[in-house]
Every structure is written in C-alpha cells, then in structure tokens.
Structure 1
Amino acid sequence: MSLKQRITELIAETGPIPVSQYMALCLFDPADGYYTTREPFGAKGDFTTAPEISQMFGELAAVWLASAWQAAGAPQDAILAEIGPGRGTLARDMLRTLARIAPDLTRRVALIETSPRLTAIQKETLGATSATWHRDIGELPGAPLFIVGNELFDAIPIRQFVKTPQGWRERCVGLDADGALTFVAGPGTTDAALPDAPNGAIFEIAPARNALMQEIAERIARDGGAGLFIDYGHLQTGVGDTLQAMRAHAHVDVLATPGEADLTSHVDFAALGAAAGAGRLETRAMTQARFLLGMGLLERAGQLGAGGDAGLRERLRGEVERLAGPDEMGELFKVLMVGKDLANLPPQ
C-alpha cells in the first residue's frame, strides 16, 4: 500500500490531520518517507543545494567557522559539527579547507543525522575519517560547539493556520467529496499571537524549528561556540503560504505524491533569531549574497580561475551567479549567525 493510500485511510478513520503531521509522514515515514527512501540531492535528484553547486560555498563557510573558533580563543577541545549533512559534500569541503587554515578545529568532528541511509552516503563521501555520527545534538559531549546547518530548517514540519470568519483555525489535510486529499480548516486554533489578516490568509508557525534552535543556542551559551545556518526564507515574519513540493527540480502539487516529493516551507529567520536570543545568544542575519560576497566569494573564484582556461572561468562565473545572484540563491537564501559575541566576526 502506498503512503498516499495509507494517509487517505488514516484521514478516513480519524478525520483531517494537521499540515505538520502530513509533512512528517511524507518526509520521515520509516517505510515510505521521502528522506528515508530517496536520493534527493543533485542533478539526478529533486533539488541541488549550494554545496553541490560549488566547492566555494563550503570553503567560505569553513573560513567563517575558523574565524569564530579563533575569536573564541581556539579551544582545543572544540567540536566541529554539521547538522543535516545531506550527502556530506559540505562537510568534505569544509574539512579540506580547515585542514589548511585551522587544523586543530578538525580534531573532533561530529555529524548529526537521523537517516541511516544518508549516514552511509556521508561516510562514503568523507572516506577515511575520525568523525562520529549522532542522531541528535543531545548526544554530543559537553565542549565548545561550532556548528553549521545548510537547508536544515526548511524540512522541519510547520503548523499552518487559515483565517476564517470564526477566527484563525489550524490548516489540515482532509478528503474532498471524491475521497481525494485536500486542504481544510480544522477545528483547532492556537494560543500564539497571530496577526490581523483577511479571511483566507495563511499564517505559519514552526515550534519544532524554534525548539531545535533554542536547544542549539542553550548548548552554545553553556559551553561556548558559534553557529552558522543557511536556508531559504524571509528576514521578517509575514503572512503567506510557503509550503511547497519539489520533484525532479520542478514544483509539484503538495498533495499529489506523498513521500515522492520534497516538502519544505520558507524559514522565518526572525523567529529563529528570537529562539536563539531566548537561549541568550547574539544573532546576525543577512542574505546569502551579502554573506558570501563579504566572505570573499569573488576573490576565491578569481584564485580558482587564475591560470585556467576560458571554460573554467565561465563555469566559476556561473557558480558565483547561482550562489549570489539576485535572481538565483543570493536574495532568496538567508544566513543566520549565532554566538556569544559576533561583533568582530566576518563579514563586516
């Protein structure tokens, strides 16, 4: 029985399910979930992440982490961690760079991953390594933590609320008259303060995302360290439906193929920053373009292209455009830095 059939039967038996539950089933169902059964990354998958586009992304992330580590006094017991490492491409590029500029930061490397299938791919990507794998951040030993997460928070399920004449109601997935999946307004509401908006408006909250960020922040506040998180989303909280599905690098109907398409939503960086602030950390947020250009993206592309042929320089130009161009990832993707003291960290 397909995941779609199982979800349909569940709704028929119990009634509409919240969007957050639908997302969790589609992405993480042990038998048919998207991340438990599929290879989502790269040209042959459903989407391409920044580390897959260019080695420069991981190199510049490594430079930032090395700067944060040095600003903290270069603690020798520090843990370098990536949470949600995908295929391990970002970790590989960061470790290669750090081996040159801050080798002591690579003494204790941890990857936080819940998928056994992806863990196996990451181990193959990284090859011989002393890195350790963990299912959650709580498994890491107490030590200064320098952590990065790329396209992590967008895949954590959200709750949606729809404005009705009776007020805000939780948006759910139910069945229409023909038994097909459809969005409905459920009976549930929330104690959270929701904005004034016209009927039909959608507002998203992400308590699971905020809880994870607060856990990371409290850990850094206690033991020291810093965090760098990159995702697509918005810097200011706003009204709107951002739930989307990607399959074969194209947008598809969110309800059409449960478990066969990647479900994500835009990250509310204002809310994430507030969660980190609740964990007693400083935060800085900016566009990916500002971050990468400020970290030296153009200069690094020039170094890689020096002495190369026209084909190499054109490829690098294309990578820079995809990573930082205003019509590509540069403005859509945002960067959140968290730490005890960010004042002297790049980019300035």
Structure 2
Amino acid sequence: MTENPSLPELIDMQIRTTGPMSVATYMGLCLTHPSKGYYKGADPLGAKGDFITAPEISQMFGELVGFFFVNLWQQMGSPREFTLLELGPGRGTLMADMLRVACRAEGFRDALDLRLFETNPTLIAEQHARLEAYDPKWIDSFEKVGRGPLLVVANEFFDALPIRQFVRSDQGWHERMIGLIEGKRAFGLSPTPIPPTSMPEAVADAPLTAVLEVALAGTEVMTRLANTISTQGGAILAIDYGYARTQPGDTLQGVRRHQYADVLDSPGEVDLSAQVDFQALGNVAARAGLAVPPLLTQGEFLTNMGINDRARALSSANPGAAADVASARARLVDADQMGTLFKVLCAHSPGLQAPGFTA
C-alpha cells in the first residue's frame, strides 16, 4: 500500500479488512469520497466529459422549467420571500436559463433566496461564474434551505444516489455485495436471506435471479424535502431517467467518456448511476401530505409547457440556427431519444396546480 493510496486501493483494503461491501457503500465511495470521489474531480459534463444533460442541449429546457416555477410562485401569491433550491446544479446552465425567464416576473428577483446543493469544487466555480448576480448560497445539508416557501428542482440528481441491490433465490432475497476474488473486485451475494415478506408487494411474484434496487438515499432526500415543503409550502420537480412503477431490474451502470464502462473498474473515474423508481419517490412525498399528480414523460412535460412554440420563436429570431433548434427539440422530446426514458415527477403543496401536469 502506498503512502497516498488511490481510491481503488482504499476500496480493496476496506474489503480485505471488513469483508464484502454493499453496492450502496461502493457507489458512495466511488462518487463522493471526500478527496478521490468522482464528483470531487473535474467537470464531468460536455463533450470532453462523461455525459451531457438536457440543459446543455438547449436553452429551451431551462426556460420552460423557469416558466414552471414562476407560475407556481405566482399561484402562491408571489411571496416576498422564498427559497429556490437546485440539487446537483452541474455548470449552473439550468438555473441560469430558468432565472433569465423567471426574473422577468415582477418581484421574483427581489424575493429570491437561491440555494445550490453541490460538492464538486470545479462545478461550484462554474456555478458561481454563471449565477453570481443572483447571490447564490451553497449548502451541504437539507436543513439549510432558507425561509418561506421552498421550490426545488432536481435534474439528473436522484439517479446518482447510492442504491442497494437484492437478488431473489429460492431461499428469499439476498443483498448483492462487492468482494474480491483472486484480488479482483467481483459481485457476490450475502449468505443471509431476507424474507420475501420484507420486500415490496410489487416484486412478490418476481422470478428467481430477479434484482430489486432500493434507493434508500433517494427516499431519505425526498423525505426531508417533502417534510419541509409540507410545513413551509412549495414544490419539488424531479427530472430523471427511470421507471414509473416499482419493479425488478438491474439498472446499475457506469459511463466514461460517453461510453458504457464496467462499474467495478476504475473507481472514482467512472460515473455510476441507476434508474429512478419514481413510484417510491412519489409515495414518500404523498405520505408527507403533498399532492403528487400523475407522472409525465419528459417529452409530455416539455410539450405541455410549450416547447414547440418556443422552438418556432427561436427559429424565427435566428433562421440560421433553425436546424440546430429542431435537432435539440427532437433530442429532448422524441420517444427514441430522451423523451420517453426520462420522466418528470412533481410533488407540491395541496391547492396548487402544477403547470404542464394539468389539462
């Protein structure tokens, strides 16, 4: 072992010392280790990074989300003080596009208390450069969300939170673990079965070898935010790739330089994620007393919010960019691109009408 061990060395040492670790523990170390985690490194976005998010594809995405939130703010009576929180703000592109639109509404800018939940120093610097005019404050816990109603946006945030995986056998469900075989990281199963009665009803008839993913970290985040919103008022908008109803399936994946990568190789250098169980998140919000309208696909949400009209307006204003605008619109809404795989969940205070979710 070197004096300054790498993250792979630290993970292997922990396995040798304490035994196999859960998938959740492994993901947490890979993504958020204090000095060596993936999200502590350089900018992972864009052509030179590992992935591209919707706000980086077109300004239309952020502008329509901005219309969504300013509409809710006005429905709440245009409170003179409110908090707008983004989870995992990336380069700040989404928020910059949102606020360029929303701050046209009288009183919105003066009432705004902007909070950003971010851990990547490189991205924090980019967020500061884009959003400095709005006096953002960076937070590291959900107890620091400010006063007044709370409006939350989370684009491709929940998919990056650690998950646990369970595999069904004829004895019950066993947690999937990561250990070492001949010095190499490998998947295995805990020898202690978990009774099927401890699993969700939705997987009661799952076949042998089926995999269930449980996102305890995601439901904990949603619980805290939903409880705050139930007290202070507001809403959360979560946009991510995932499935509408709890179901079995192994969705854990690694991405590096826009290519799929082995999740067990190069810890700290590969983006790890798993599809979001939106039913589980919605159930948490509903238990906190929030209204949860039916889930939409990203294509449905953006279309309902007026992306076609916005695309036409941008093309008319700059005819030379019309082809690029059309391509971006298609990438965001078409079923064979992001339009169907990505879903949009809203949970809000009773009495509000979520734009785009109601006819």
Q: Fold conserved (TM > 0.5)?
A: yes
The alpha-carbon deviation at position 126 of structure 1 amounts to 2.0
Distance in 1 (alpha carbons) for counterparts of 2:106 and 2:93: 19
The 5-angstrom pairing of residues 185-204 of structure 1 reads 185-190=189-194, 191-193=198-200, 195-204=204-213
Q: How many correspondences in the alignment?
A: 346
- Give the SS at the match of 1:85: coil
Matched, 1:224 2:233: yes
- 1:260 lines up with 2:305 in the alignment: no
Please give the per-residue CA displacement for 1:156-210, whole angstroms capped at 9, x wherever unaligned: 100100112321011011112x221111001355544353322211101111111
Matches within 5 A, 1:177-188: 178-188=182-192
Candidates 122, 128, 134, aligned match of 2:139: 134
Q: How many percent of aligned residue pairs carry the same amino acid? A: 44
The residue number in structure 2 matching 1:215 is 224
Assess if the C-alpha contact under 8 Å between 1:110 and 1:133 holds in 2: yes
Letter matched to residue 133 of structure 1: W
The answer to whether structure 1 residue 173 and structure 2 residue 190 are counterparts is: no
Q: What is the deviation of 1:271?
A: 0.3
1:86-165 matched pairs, under 5 angstroms: 86-101=90-105, 103-105=107-109, 107-165=112-170
Tell me, yes or no, if the aligned pair for 2:22 and 2:177 is still in contact at 8 Å.
yes
Q: TM-score, normalised by structure 2?
A: 0.92
| Structure 1 residues without counterparts, runs of 5 or longer | none
Contact between 1:203 and 1:238, CA under 8 Å: does it hold in 2? yes
1:4 and 1:102 map into 2 onto residues whose CA distance is 52
Letter in structure 2 aligned against 1:21: T
Distance 1:206 1:345 in 2: 26
Q: Does 1:233 align with 2:237?
A: no
Matched with 1:18 is: 22
CA contact (8 A) 2:80 2:107 kept: no
Q: CA deviation at 1:71?
A: 1.2
Q: Does 1:315 align with 2:327?
A: no
Going from structure 1 to structure 2, the CA distance change for 1:113 and 1:102 (only over 3 Å counts) comes to farther
Cα displacement string for residues 106-153 of structure 1 (whole angstroms, at most 9, x for unaligned residues): 632221223344322210222433222211221122311111111110
For 2:193 and 2:314, the matched residues in 1 are separated by: 54
Please give the secondary structure, in 1, of the residue aligned with 2:339.
Answer: helix
The SS at the match of 1:25 is helix
